[in-house]
Each structure stands twice: as C-alpha cells, then as structure tokens.
Structure 1
Amino acid sequence: LVCLNCRRCEVSRCTVVRRGQRTALNWRLEKLSGDAKGSTAPKAPAASTGPASWGPGMLWIPSELQRPEMMPDDTSGEAVQDATAEELGEHWGAHGVEWAWAHDGLRQNGWLHLRAEGALMCKWGRGRWRLLHAATPPLLLVTFNEVEHALRLEDASRGPPGFDMVSK
C-alpha cells in the first residue's frame, strides 16, 4: 500500500482479536522495509471484494492530501515564478501577487498567490487566473476546485487594496 499521508510504501496488517463473544480487527500500518519477511517493492493489490467500509484507506485525510494534484509541485527543481506586473495589468499589478481571502469580508480564512502564465496557488490548491478586460478595472477570474470566481478590485480611495467577489 501507499500511505495516503506521506506517499511512501507501507505494510498493512490486520489481526483478528477475540475476547469472549466479541470480535474485532486490529489494523497496523508499518513502514515497508527490506527485511526477510518482505521486499522493498510494493505488492500488487489483491482483487477487490467491493468498496471498503473501514480500514487504513478509510482514515480521515485532509482535502489537500486526498488530491495530490492540488499540492505544490516542488519536485521539478525549478523555482515557480510569480506573475509579473505586466501580466496582471495596470490596476491589479500595482498591488502585488499575494492576496488574502475572507469569506465574511473581515476575517482572513484563505489566500491567493498569482503565479506566472495564469497559474494560481491558493489555500484550496492549484488553479488558474486570467483578466477579463470587459470592465475597468478588469475583473480577475480565478478558478480553483473547478469553480470560477470573478473578483472586482475595490476603489483604492476606500482604504487598503482589496476585492469583492462579484460572481461565483
């Protein structure tokens, strides 16, 4: 098996425990080692007997770990570039690439980081962004978790830079 948290190979062992009339299964997860009992190569999974209702694959796992494609890819060795002021345009570019997200408009509960070539990283995973030039200032369309959000830059005279989500 592959650990859903650390993505390393592991061995899953299940032992039946009986106490009087009661029966339970005791699951143990261990790192896969190259000892005499096993090899370092993972074994092919046994034929499925249907969906599991419990066991090591049924542990609660944070959303970010359930969808590895959403995690930042640091394995390429290349530094991920921030979006340039030119990519963000005159209005959005003046305020940078890192933005706080607040569902209630007051308390931050997320963040957006605008990357080069329309790439987006946010609290909820990877996504895409682009400018919609139909309005002035342009709307910033950010898409993550398969949902597109239209963000309108607030008037700078009202205080620190911010945005309103005008469509979801």
Structure 2
Amino acid sequence: MTGKLKLAAKLAKQKATIYASEENYLLASRLAVQSGDIASAAKLMEQVIKFKENKENLLKLHEYSRWQGNLVSALQVSLKLLKYQPNEKQLRAGLEEASSIADLAAMSDFYFVLVQKQWLKNDEYESWLTITDKAYGAEYVVTQLEKILKDLILIAF
C-alpha cells in the first residue's frame, strides 16, 4: 500500500507541475502528507497558496512547517495569518515561534493583537511593552498604547 501511495503522490506532483492549478497542487500536497513526505507537502502547499491564499491553506502550511520543526517558515505563515482573524491559540503559536528565534518585532506584533483582543494575561503586559520598546522604540510604544486606549473608549460607548 505504501508503494502505491508514494507512486500516487509522485504522479499527482507531476500532474500539478504540468497542469498547474490550486486543485492539482492541493491533491498533490495531501497525497504527499499521506505518503509521509511532509517536506514535499509543504512545498506543494506553498504553490496552492500562490493560487489561493486563505486561512485554511495557510493553517495547513503552518502545520506542515511545525511538523518539520521549521520555526522560521512557521513564523512567516503565522505573520500572514494575522490578517485572517487568528484565534488565541494561533496567536500564541506565532508568539512562541517568534520567541524561539528571537524575532522581537514579530513578538511585538503578536502581543499587540493579543492586547487588542483582550487576550493578554496580566503578567504579560510588561513583556509586551519591553519587547515593543526594544523592537520599535519608545515612540512606537506610545502610539500602540494610544491605539489601545482609543479602542477601549470606543468599546465603552
């Protein structure tokens, strides 16, 4: 069965290469995963995203990147997911990835969305402010705090 699955994955990849479409790359990516070739599945999913970037496709690519232990790729995908209303778990995964590779700007970005959604824990505010200051400077921190205050005022009324 494994041999047939690998052959099917190989043929699907060839078909996607010749007849490039979202559907063909998606099928090839799924078969690559089923045959245990996560690296190929990730590359094929990147092709899918070139045709149709959406939350579902990005989450798959993120999953494949994490399975491979490729935190740089996972972080890049997590940053793209910011425009698709990520949930708290997805934001915290992005924060973890950014922290693992010491990307202060990305950490600040994830913290800010957590603040906006009121998901930041009380003991995390100091980290957010410190990291944002280191990544972007004090003036930017003030701007972010003003945005938060403005949002809170709008919510109150």
TM-score range, shorter chain: under 0.3
* TM-score when normalising by structure 1: 0.26
Structure with more helix by fraction: 2
Structure with more strand by fraction: 1
* TM-score when normalising by structure 2: 0.27
